């Protein structure tokens, strides 16, 4: 019997890979939804949509991938976000080969934001590092700015406030995803772009932040943001401690989550966020 091969997921192979993920990973997401989500691209020369493990012409496993060209602290950086790792039980012994094929691509920083414990162990063997998984949970309270930091949520106003800045591209790249909410916190000329998702915590509506462009301004405008979110029916705000850097009153810290992982020779944990990834394209 021939050894299974590993092939890039091209535009041609993507529908079959999407059908495989629908059947074996998440049946609640249709093949069409899988294909649409995995075809999202933020890189002009993305090499593939991931890699598929093939056995006699049949997909028996695979890893999806998102590629993005970004500016991090003013420097161009290239990211590959690993997603939707699924290998049939009969071919699990090939999982390491599959992972090594992905991370063997040169010139990328790699991330995985939804690893299982088994996947995390494999990736840490490949020298991936865990991100601090602690989360700050803040109670949103009424607030008036009285000349302090304020919030802008109107889409056109956000775009105008960010005009002429690199952050405008980030906003425009993400404003089309219905499950993402955007708000600016701060002052004219000094805005923190916050991206969050509406979720539920203890059966109450909550805001889960996945991005903050300026952590210092986020801390300064925390009360203003909480008041803004409360006015929209969101009782609590959840953000990773590493993005906020403190525990403002009133808040608590939760822990015990599966750590998210990254592999980079140059970037630090504080330079890793969840934009341009499965968190955006697949709403994971």
Among 100-109, 166-175, 241-250, 256-265, whose mean pLDDT is lowest? Answer: 241-250
Token pair in block for residue 209: 């932040």
Count of beta carbons in the 10 Å neighbourhood of residue 40? 18
Rounded Cα distance between 52 and 60, Å, is 8
pLDDT of residue 67: 98
Taken in order 100, 105, 109, 115, the sign of the CA dihedral is negative
With a cut of 90, say whether residue 172 has pLDDT above it.
Answer: yes
Residue 167: pLDDT band with limits 50, 70, 90: very high
Q: Distance from CA of residue 239 to its chain's centroid?
A: 13
> Tell me, what's the pLDDT at 246?
87
**Domains of the chain as residue ranges with CATH:** 5-133+276-281 (3.40.630.30), 135-255 (3.40.630)
The pLDDT of residue 15 is 98
- At 214 the pLDDT is 96
Count Cα neighbours of 1 within 13 Å in the Cβ-side half-sphere.
Answer: 6
Match 């805005």 to its residue by tokens.
191
Q: How far is CA 6 from CA 26, 45, 54, 68, 261, in A?
A: 22, 20, 6, 23, 23
Distance CA 172, CA 101 (A): 32
Reply yes or no on whether the pLDDT at 249 is more than 90.
no
CB 148 within 8 A of CB 224: yes
Average pLDDT of the chain to the nearest whole number: 95
Q: What is the pLDDT of residues 15-60, one digit of tens each?
A: 999 999 999 999 999 999 999 999 999 998 999 999 999 999 999 9
Q: What is the pLDDT of residue 69?
A: 97
CB atoms within 10 A of CB 178: 7
Instruction: Give the angle 254-259-265 at the CA atoms, nearest 5°.
Output: 130
pLDDT band at 185 (very low <50, low <70, confident <90, very high): very high
Q: Whole-angstrom Cα distance, residue 95 to residue 85?
A: 9
Two tokens at 78? Answer: 């290239």
Residue 1: the pLDDT is 64
Contact criterion met (CB below 8 Å) for 60 and 39: no
User: pLDDT above 70 covers what percent of the chain?
Assistant: 100
pLDDT confidence of residue 121:
92
Q: Does residue 91 register a pLDDT over 90? A: yes
Whether the predicted pLDDT of 202 surpasses 80: yes
Task: Give the dihedral of Cα atoms 93, 130, 258, 246; nearest 10 deg.
Answer: -170
Mean pLDDT of 170-190: 97
> Tell me, what's the pLDDT at 141?
96
Q: How far apart are CA 121 and CA 130, in angstroms?
A: 10
User: pTM of this prediction?
Assistant: 0.93
């Amino acid at each position: 019997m021939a050894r299974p091969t590993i092939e890039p997921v091209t535009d041609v192979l993507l529908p079959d890979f999407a059908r495989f993920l629908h059947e074996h990973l998440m049946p609640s997401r249709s093949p069409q939804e899988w294909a649409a989500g995995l075809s999202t691209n933020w890189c002009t020369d993305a090499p593939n949509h991931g890699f598929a493990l093939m056995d006699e012409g049949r997909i028996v496993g695979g890893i999806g991938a998102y590629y993005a060209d970004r500016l991090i602290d003013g420097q161009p950086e290239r990211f590959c976000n690993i997603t939707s790792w699924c290998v049939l039980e009969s071919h699990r012994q090939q999982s390491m080969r599959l992972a090594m094929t992905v991370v063997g691509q040169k010139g990328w920083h790699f991330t995985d934001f939804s690893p299982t414990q088994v996947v995390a162990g494999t990736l840490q063997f490949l020298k991936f590092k865990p991100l601090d998984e602690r989360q700050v949970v803040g109670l949103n309270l009424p607030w008036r700015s009285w000349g302090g930091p304020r919030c802008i949520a109107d889409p056109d106003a956000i775009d105008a406030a960010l005009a002429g800045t690199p952050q405008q591209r980030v906003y425009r790249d993400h404003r089309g995803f219905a499950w993402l909410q955007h708000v600016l916190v701060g002052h004219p000329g000094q805005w923190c772009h916050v991206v969050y998702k509406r979720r539920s915590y203890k059966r109450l509506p909550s805001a889960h932040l996945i991005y903050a462009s300026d952590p210092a301004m986020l801390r300064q405008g925390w009360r203003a943001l909480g008041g803004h979110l409360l006015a929209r029916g969101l009782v609590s705000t959840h953000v990773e401690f590493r993005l906020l850097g403190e525990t403002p009153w009133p808040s608590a810290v939760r822990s015990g989550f599966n750590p998210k992982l990254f592999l980079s020779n140059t970037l630090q944990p504080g330079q890793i966020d969840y934009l341009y990834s499965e968190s955006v394209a697949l709403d994971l």
